[in-house]
Amino acid sequence: MCTTLAVSIALGAAQAATGIQEQNAAYAARRDAVLRSNHAATTKYANELTIAEYNDKLKGDVFERELKADAAAQTELAAVRQNNQINADNASVAAQVEKNEKLAEQAFKTQDNLAKSIAAQGEILASGAQSGNSLAALLQGAEREFGFEQAQIDASQDSVFRAYAIEQYGIDLDKYSADVAAINSTKSIATQKAASYEPIKPIMQATPRKPSILGPILSGATTAVSAGSAIGGENFWKDLNWSTGTVTG
């Protein structure tokens, strides 16, 4: 009967050990699956975050190059406009010089006309002409001739001023047109780049709790009881003396 008890206990212990082993193996499989899933999700998130950071850096580099290109274009535009101003100033100076030369020529003509008028009036007075209406008429005639000459000179001066004003307007217009053309040809290419969306953080799965060994132990006890009853008879456990390990009755 001791053999029956030993066999029953051995079978129960084997069943409990097998149950614990299978239970632990299943737990390890579930745990490893959760760990692999969490690791894969964490790795994917880290890769997406790295890619987003890399793309943002590329966008920043492109934007920086665009800003430098815009700055260079503005520098070139300033140089073009400065050159346009220099050309306009040179043309304006040349126009002023030409105007002043013509005005100087007209001033000499005015002085020459005035000298001729004075000389003509002196000749009339020195001619011995009798005073009266005839002398006054001669002097008025000389004065009218001086006036006609001076009116032509003054008209020529007005023409000089008008020609200078028209030329200066053309110079200003040319400069304005050149500036507008330079401005229109200078385009800004820098555009603010939108940042990449941050990847969605993964939700980690909870590691399963390690199962209790109570279940396999109870299953082993049940196996031991069943084995004892099968080998020693239905009354084996009832007739078993636990102190001596023998069956009575």
Residue numbers of the domain that contains 75: 2-185+213-247
Query: How far is Cα of residue 131 from the mean position of the Cα atoms in its chain?
Result: 96
Instruction: Give a yes or no: residue 199 inside a domain.
Output: no
Residue-wise pLDDT tens digits, 172-188: 999 999 999 999 998 88
Task: Identify the pLDDT of residue 180.
Answer: 94
Q: Is the pTM of this model over 0.75?
A: no
- How far apart are the C-alpha atoms of 119 and 130, rounded to whole Å? 19
- How far apart are the C-alpha atoms of 240 and 75, rounded to whole Å? 109
Q: Which residues contact 235 (CB under 8 A, 6 or more apart)?
A: 249
Closest C-alpha to 149, from 181, 185, 115, 122: 115
Instruction: Give a yes or no: residue 150 inside a domain.
Output: yes
Number of domains in the chain: 1
Instruction: Give a yes or no: residue 205 inside a domain.
Output: no
- How far apart are the C-alpha atoms of 68 and 6, rounded to whole Å? 91
- How far apart are the C-alpha atoms of 79 and 206, rounded to whole Å? 68
| Run means of pLDDT, 10 residues per run, the chain, 249 residues | 61 71 81 91 92 91 92 94 94 90 77 66 56 52 64 74 90 93 89 84 85 72 65 58 56
Instruction: Give a yes or no: residue 207 inside a domain.
Output: no
Instruction: Give a yes or no: residue 141 inside a domain.
Output: yes
Task: Identify the pLDDT of residue 1.
Answer: 46
Instruction: Give a yes or no: residue 201 inside a domain.
Output: no
Instruction: Give a yes or no: residue 124 inside a domain.
Output: yes
Instruction: Give a yes or no: residue 190 inside a domain.
Output: no
